[in-house]
Amino acid sequence: MIALLQRVRQARVEVEGTTVGAIDSGLLVLVCAERGDSEAEADRLLAKILKQRIFSDDAGKMNKSVQDIGGGLLLVSQFTLAADTSGGNRPGFSQAAAPDEGRRLYNYLVERARAAHPLVQTGQFAADMQVHLVNDGPVTIPMRMEPARV
């Protein structure tokens, strides 16, 4: 699974002019399931997201997690994170999970996040979304959880 974490002062997602998810200070997380991903990658990714120390402590060092500050988590599905741009000018998305599997893993991640964190908002899977954010810092962190090798 791939995630792009953005530390935000506020963020919201709109679908057809209606806000479907919004947070104040916290993390906007763009999420993409790739072919071969499972619940194990989603669990590992969520654990990393919740523990990433990318918020400032009293000394101004990035030393606190979204859990430490009681911040919001806005999870937004974005299959384009799996873009392959190596062959020409039109990206390919063959590494993204099939839509049904992507939806299943996204919903699983959201369910697990809501069980682990008090403030979780979402976008709408497969919708044409407008994402508004005030990036704090800016701080943007890419993450990838590879499937476990057997």
Q: What is the tens place of the pLDDT at every residue in 60-86?
A: 999 999 999 999 999 999 999 999 999
In a domain, 12, yes or no: yes
State pLDDT tens for residues 95-109.
999 999 999 999 999
Q: Which regions of the chain are under pLDDT 50?
A: none
Q: Give backbone dihedrals phi and psi of 18, rounded to 5 degrees, phi first.
A: -110, 130
In the residue annotation, 19 being an active-site residue is answered as: no
In a domain, 138, yes or no: yes
In a domain, 149, yes or no: no
In a domain, 139, yes or no: yes
Question: Domain count of the chain?
Answer: 1
Among 55, 79, 121, 122, the active-site one is 79
Quote the DSSP letter at residue 69.
Answer: H
In a domain, 99, yes or no: yes
Q: By the 8 A CB rule, do 96 and 37 touch?
A: no
Which structural domain range is residue 111 located in?
2-143
CA-CA distances (angstroms) from residue 61 to 55, 72, 127? 8, 20, 37
User: Does 138 sit behind a cis peptide bond, omega within 30 degrees of 0 on the bond before it?
Assistant: yes
In a domain, 59, yes or no: yes
In a domain, 84, yes or no: yes
In the residue annotation, 67 being an active-site residue is answered as: no
* CATH code assigned at 89: 3.50.80.10
Among 78, 85, 124, 130, the active-site one is 78
In the residue annotation, 78 being an active-site residue is answered as: yes
In a domain, 150, yes or no: no
